[in-house]
Structure 1
Amino acid sequence: MMGRAASPVFVGREIELEQLGEIFDQARKQAAAAVLVGGEAGVGKTRLVTRFAEQAAAGGAQVFAGGCVELSTEGLAYAPFTAVLRQLVRDMGAADVAALLPEGAGRDLARLLPEFGEPSGDVETDTARARLFEQILTLLERLAERRPMVLVIEDVHWADRSSRDLIAFLSRNVSAIPMLMVLTYRSDELHRTHPLRPVLAELTRVEGVVKVEVPRFTEDEVARQMAGILGTTPTYGRVSTIFDRSAGIPLFVEALLDCGTDGNLPESLHDLIIGQVERLPEETQRVLRIAAAGGNRIGHPLLCAVSGLSESDLEDAIRPAVARNVLQVADGGYTFRHALIREAVHDELLPGEHARLHARFAQEIDRDRALVPPGRAAIEIAHHWHSARDDLWALVSAWEASEKATKAFAYTEKVQLLERVLTLWDKVPDAAQRIGADHTTVLERASEGAYAAGDVDRALKYVKAALAELDDETAPERVAELLVRMASCKKQRGRAGAIDDLRRAERLVPLPSETRTLVLTRLGTLLIMADEIVEGTALTTEALRIAREMGDECREADLLMNLSLGHSINDDLEAALAVNARAQAIGTRLKSGRVVLRALANNVDALENLGRSEEAVALALEAEKLAREYGRYRNQGVFIANNRAEALESLGRWDEALDLINRSLMLDPSPLNRWHLLRVRIQIGMARGELEQTLADLTDVGALSGHTEEYTQERILNTRAALQWHLLTGNPETALTRAEEALNSWPLSRKPMLGWRLLATAYRVSDAALPISPNRAAALRARADEFRVTMQAKGPVGEAYERECHGEFDEAAALWAQLRRPYQRARNLLMAAHGRERDAMAVRLREAHALATGLRAAPLIDQIGALARRSGIALTDAPAETTALLTPREIEVLRLLTEGRSNRDIAQTLTISAKTASVHVSNILSKLSVSTRGEAAAAAHRLSLFN
């Protein structure tokens, strides 16, 4: 909206403004996360959001705003969040802002704003950026505790990868605080491959995220806009002409009005804008062209420096542009009223002028880096040299900016800058001397950045390229370190060959060194995970000796925990607990949150395998609280949450487990953490007969692919899930084939929740396959017997599974009762009921039915019911005909109905639609011959349907 053509009247948008207000009201009640405001360029998104923010502030809300900055293709890392932090520091002071965070956490914010001091020295790429995200979330939570908050982030179509990731993270995690994020973007710029598209698609699936599309004006709204601008009612003919030519886009309307009434109207928005600019004084136009090369926002001192004008001369030249509202005064500088205006002016630059101006910006910023906001100089210089097409300085500045990006955890931006260095390498003859690093080093840094950003495939590409330039004999340590990264990439992607890569690396560094310790640490871990425990333990012990000689206590703690992993897989769980406790003590002394959390996570798992599931849940909750305090929840906290979900699943607290899993998945965990979470959800999904979701999850983790995983845990968990799936879906022969492959080709871990649990499943496969393939089923049982004899269960969980394998189902059921694992007890009671006399069978089936009903384990309920019907046993005291009338799902709905739940509550609890819940309730009322929900509840109690 330019010059006198800017309407003083807020026209239209009543529906959108009301919608934003309603969403914010929900946010005040901690029920909303974000609103996505989309629309074409010039349609009025900023005007709408500004009006909403003004109303929110008038209502007592605190409003923070930041915008994404277009710098070529890479954007500016974390630009909107840096702007918000700067606003907070101005309002509160850096010390008061840091005081809102856990002790020492303000140092993480120093990576975005120097006012917070020196950044922390922790640069672990796998957790450091996640911790930064946690600190920003914590800061927003603390601010929102004071009063409701609105966070406006404009132009997210220009957002860099790091900002997009942080926006997605916050959108999934602010639903529990009275805060609303408002994100604006140009919908007309989202081409098929635009990086924002998948982010928007993901966000629209997050509960509480609402999409608002700002439409073009109607003809009536254009008339009202024109009346506000002109101060009088326009003629119908003029309204009609302006509406046709503007297509209802407010910015076009204003520009067209400013062209006059002679009817000679430009054909495009570019011409409209340039036509207005050309009516400004020549010196003003020159300064505008300079400003356009500097970006949408530019400081007054920087514009002085680049233009060569004195402050007074610059002010004289700028004043007409400000008066016409082409530029606006903001934060000690100037901003173009609309990005489209800057784009149009910038497009008018001649080629030579374009290169010369961008070079001037780069030179002036490099001469005095205080001319741009703190932390932006390197990326701005790199952008301007690149735009100036100066290969030498584009390469040098991109290298420097990549180092700055590393310190801010902007790993994707780091990779983009390094790719620019690689692209320009052959154009700069002395490139290596200019940056003080050879070509291979650039590839190494690019692989490091890509791996940290989670782009494993790109990391692998750069690792291979770097290895191709190195020789094992002349650079053994560099090759070894690259092989470690290659192995990590393969492990992340579930590809084979990681151990072979590490064996090669181990041969390259035979003498004690930091690199050998790194290699042995990783190789020992993967060998233990692959059930090569003896060799893995030996290598880990050697690495531990070297680490102690070097005085590297953090490495020592990690290696101790690697040894405990071997104890765990070997079912020496008490030893695992003790070793993890030693590692935790080291981490506590060194104040290493990473080490402490890893030790706690391992012990949660050990407690679960020892049958101490309730202790495991309690310890996990304590550890998750610490993970939040350390700013490590998104990575290590999610891993611990998965261990808690496993314990909750064992205890039959399935709804809690599913809620935890689904919340953890919203944090966009690493692929390995995601697969772990899905495997727990698979167990609950199959037990409840939820086939569609379970099949999707099984496909996601690769359990049905036929591929054999290299590592013990993934291999066993996926195999067991596949066996259960084939049994559940009526394919015992397929299950038999998969079980044969498993027991004939690799050893079993003695760990109860791995090897023993798989072995018990193999016996069930043998039983199910016996009628169709008796010889193969008998052979499978014989092979399982061989394993059982050698495994020797040490704890109560392994003993309970061993009883199952022996066919001692009553004894197993008793052990599961002691361990408070209801599903396993119900399943064993069902097995124990087979072949019993009628009264003994009835006792077992009725208890099993009650347990299965409480868990909503539909397939097990059906199996119990089928045996009861064949044996003429009533599972409850209710008349048989009444029980038979209701399906298992209707029994579940009736149980919730008797608790006074609404249809909406029932739908959420059972993960069905409210409409489906309503249908179930209507069927129940009909079958019980009652007319109200209260009468249905009374009938359920009278008939003892749940006893």
Structure 2
Amino acid sequence: MAEITGRSGRARRPMLERDTELSALDGMLTDLCGSGKEDGGVRTGGLIAFAGPAGMGKTALINEARRRAIARGCTVLLARGGEQEQEVAFHVVRQLVQPVFAAESPEEHRRILGTWYDIVAPAVGLVAADGDASPDPQGVRDGLDWVVTRFAVHFTPVVLILDDAHWADSESLAWLTAFAARAEELPILIIVGYRPDELPAGAGPLRRIAERSGSRPFELTPLTPAAVRRVVTHMVGEGADEAFCRECWAVTGGNPYEVVELSAKIRERDIKPQQANVSQLRELVMAIKDSGLIERLERLGTAAVRFAWAASVLGTEVSPTLAANVAGLGSVQAADVVDKLRDARILAPAVSSGNGNLRFFHPLVASAVYQAIPGALRVALHGQAAAAVVDAGHGATAAARHLLEMHPEHDDWVVQRLREAASEYFRAGAPDAARRCLARALREPPALQDRALVLFELGCSSLLSEPATTVNHLRAALEEEELDPELRETITYKLAQALAHADRMGEAAEVVAAEAQRATNARTRLRMQAEQFMWNAFRADEQESPARSRLLAKLADHLTGRGMAERYILGLRA
């Protein structure tokens, strides 16, 4: 945050010691916007990344990039990764595209998305698709490519900004890292900010994404003593002497966030910025970090602490009403607390939250507050948050990330919400997120009559990626005592399919053959026989093909094609 005012929301100030980064940014914006229609200017996109440790000024730089893009007439799509939202599939994607759709009707959504509507709409949060179909994740990414490409063409030039990319959900990150390779071919500039030391294990492509064409991410460096002096004199007065400013630089290491916060503390306590008072600076620096920040929060009173805890549990963009409900505060008391938290630089000023939601002054503050919540109380707050977001109509996926943090308590409400969330994730093409929800539901655990169904759904979530895991879950489901005959048939069918995916055709045929023998329903028996014929037909080691053909002919002679299973047998025979 190499901006004198940091995240305070005051009048914009010049960026300090970021000339190289801003020059590169301006060059790419010029390439993006072209030299003008009158002389046939060509628009070219690309990607620029700003990397650095916490507090180094990535967000201030990205905010300046956003301002400059808007000033040039660009369409800006903005998203931020959230420390508490990393498990929410497509959280970043939805932030990017939902504002574009917000002013449009459902009919217009269908027109914009065209033939991709059924595949992409659930992922971007427009609808909950009908049925249980789960699109291929690659298909969803292809659809998102098409949607954003269309945005780039219709709203050109487009600037797509992702701040705190190290906290982006894996589904969004997988799409963005693949799509970014096309940015140079489109009138779209992608701007990314992240902490290199906090990137998730699967974010290797993001590290390499800005290294094409000889470029590299811009690694933000600490401020020099001269820049720190400018910050201090601006915030506490021109009378700050050289030795005092030099010590401010020494105790903060030139970290822009800490420099700004230290200067605010100096001003708040009315400390004279002179050499005689340098001994107080180290104590002040401690007051703006973890334990000192929490002490500052606690001095605001119990209600402020509860509200801040609730807000940190709820995540990046926090509804004041929702935070008040989780904290157990009335609206008047909550409004008073919000003012106190803003004055204490724990919550960001109102002008920083244009949609009315609350945000913390800095991600470092949000992390410190969340980590300060006692463990048992944090779990309880997640439980209260889950109930609050469901009651507010935000849906099962919004509640799921809180339910994942709770301890198992044999609560059927939790199991059902997790199953609902998994179903929504399936339809959105996010099977990994669905698997997390169902695995947690299984640990709750579900009631005996629901256990087989949860095992079945969990098995289905890994069918394409981990068929061996699917086999284990489905076999376990078949061993459950309370198993509905129709569900048993469905599980058996899926188990044979999973075995076949793992190239275990013989086992697949044996599974359905065993079910055909034990079936008391004629339709089920016929369906299992059809499956047995099919999987045997694919076996390279099958020795009885002539006998199998005679048996199939004999079975088909008595069928009329009345149902699906009979038609399937006749088709195999043909």
Give the one of 127, 138, 141 matched to 1:130.
Answer: 138
Higher-Rg structure is: 1
What SS does structure 2 have at the residue aligned with 1:76?
A: coil
1:64 counterpart = 2:77: yes
CA deviation string 1:139-184 (max 9, x = no partner): 2111211311111122222222222222233223444211122232
1:378 counterpart = 2:390: no
Matched residue, 1:219: 225
1:347 counterpart = 2:371: yes
What is the CA-CA distance between 1:92 and the residue it aligns to? 4.5
1:312 counterpart = 2:321: no
CA deviation string 1:371-429 (max 9, x = no partner): x4xxxx3234333344343533455543342223222222111112222234443xxxx
CA deviation string 1:105-133 (max 9, x = no partner): 3344441456x4552547154x3x33332
Cα distance in 1 for residues equivalent to 2:216 and 2:532:
48
Alignment of 1:545-556 (within 5 A): 549-550=562-563
* Matched AA of 2:27: E
Q: Which has the higher helix share?
A: 1
Alignment of 1:621-770 (within 5 A): none
Say whether the 8 Å CA contact 1:7–1:229 is kept in structure 2.
no
1:170 counterpart = 2:179: yes
**Shift in alpha-carbon separation, 1:527–1:24, aligned structure 2, 3 A:** farther
Give the one of 75, 78, 98 matched to 2:110.
Answer: 98
Matched residue, 2:357: 333
Give the one of 380, 383, 389 matched to 2:407.
Answer: 389
What is the CA-CA distance between 1:214 and the residue it aligns to? 2.2
Q: Give the number of the structure with larger relative contact order, counting CA–CA contacts within 8 Å between residues 6 or more apart.
A: 2
CA deviation string 1:607-629 (max 9, x = no partner): xxxxxxxxxxxxxxxxxxxxxxx
* Matched AA of 1:235: D
Say whether the 8 Å CA contact 1:444–1:466 is kept in structure 2.
yes
* Matched AA of 1:111: P
Say whether the 8 Å CA contact 2:16–2:227 is kept in structure 1.
yes
Cα distance in 2 for residues equivalent to 1:347 and 1:418:
27
Alignment of 1:193-592 (within 5 A): 194-201=200-207, 203=209, 211-230=217-236, 232=238, 234-260=240-266, 261=271, 262-263=280-281, 264-267=283-286, 269-278=289-298, 280=300, 283-328=303-348, 329=350, 330=353, 331-366=355-390, 368-370=391-393, 372=394, 377-389=395-407, 391-393=409-411, 395=415, 397-425=417-445, 431-433=446-448, 437-438=450-451, 440-452=452-464, 454=465, 456=466, 459-467=467-475, 470=478, 478-488=491-501, 490-491=502-503, 498-510=504-516, 513-514=526-527, 517=530, 520-521=533-534, 524=537, 526-527=538-539, 549-550=562-563
In terms of mean alpha carbon deviation, does 46-55 or 217-226 score higher? 217-226
CA deviation string 1:866-916 (max 9, x = no partner): xxxxxxxxxxxxxxxxxxxxxxxxxxxxxxxxxxxxxxxxxxxxxxxxxxx
Cα distance in 2 for residues equivalent to 1:540 and 1:79:
51
Matched residue, 1:88: 100
Matched residue, 2:3: none
Structure 2 residues without counterparts, runs of 5 or longer: 1-5, 34-41, 272-279, 517-523
**Shift in alpha-carbon separation, 1:535–1:169, aligned structure 2, 3 A:** farther
* Matched AA of 2:185: A
**Shift in alpha-carbon separation, 1:516–1:167, aligned structure 2, 3 A:** farther
Matched residue, 2:161: 152
What is the CA-CA distance between 1:13 and the residue it aligns to? 1.5
Matched residue, 2:25: 20
* Matched AA of 1:252: E
What is the CA-CA distance between 1:88 and the residue it aligns to? 0.9
What SS does structure 2 have at the residue aligned with 1:387?
A: coil
Matched residue, 2:15: 10
Say whether the 8 Å CA contact 2:223–2:255 is kept in structure 1.
yes
What is the CA-CA distance between 1:42 and the residue it aligns to? 1.4
Cα distance in 2 for residues equivalent to 1:419 and 1:62:
41
Structure 1 residues without counterparts, runs of 5 or longer: 426-430, 492-497, 564-947
* Matched AA of 2:162: I
Say whether the 8 Å CA contact 1:76–1:159 is kept in structure 2.
no
CA deviation string 1:175-225 (max 9, x = no partner): 4211122232222224xxx33443325645766985332222222232233
Q: Scaled by the length of structure 2, what TM-score is found?
A: 0.78
Cα distance in 2 for residues equivalent to 1:11 and 1:312:
40
* Matched AA of 2:459: S
What is the CA-CA distance between 1:249 and the residue it aligns to? 1.5
What is the CA-CA distance between 1:299 and the residue it aligns to? 0.7
* Matched AA of 2:75: Q
Cα distance in 1 for residues equivalent to 2:500 and 2:475:
13
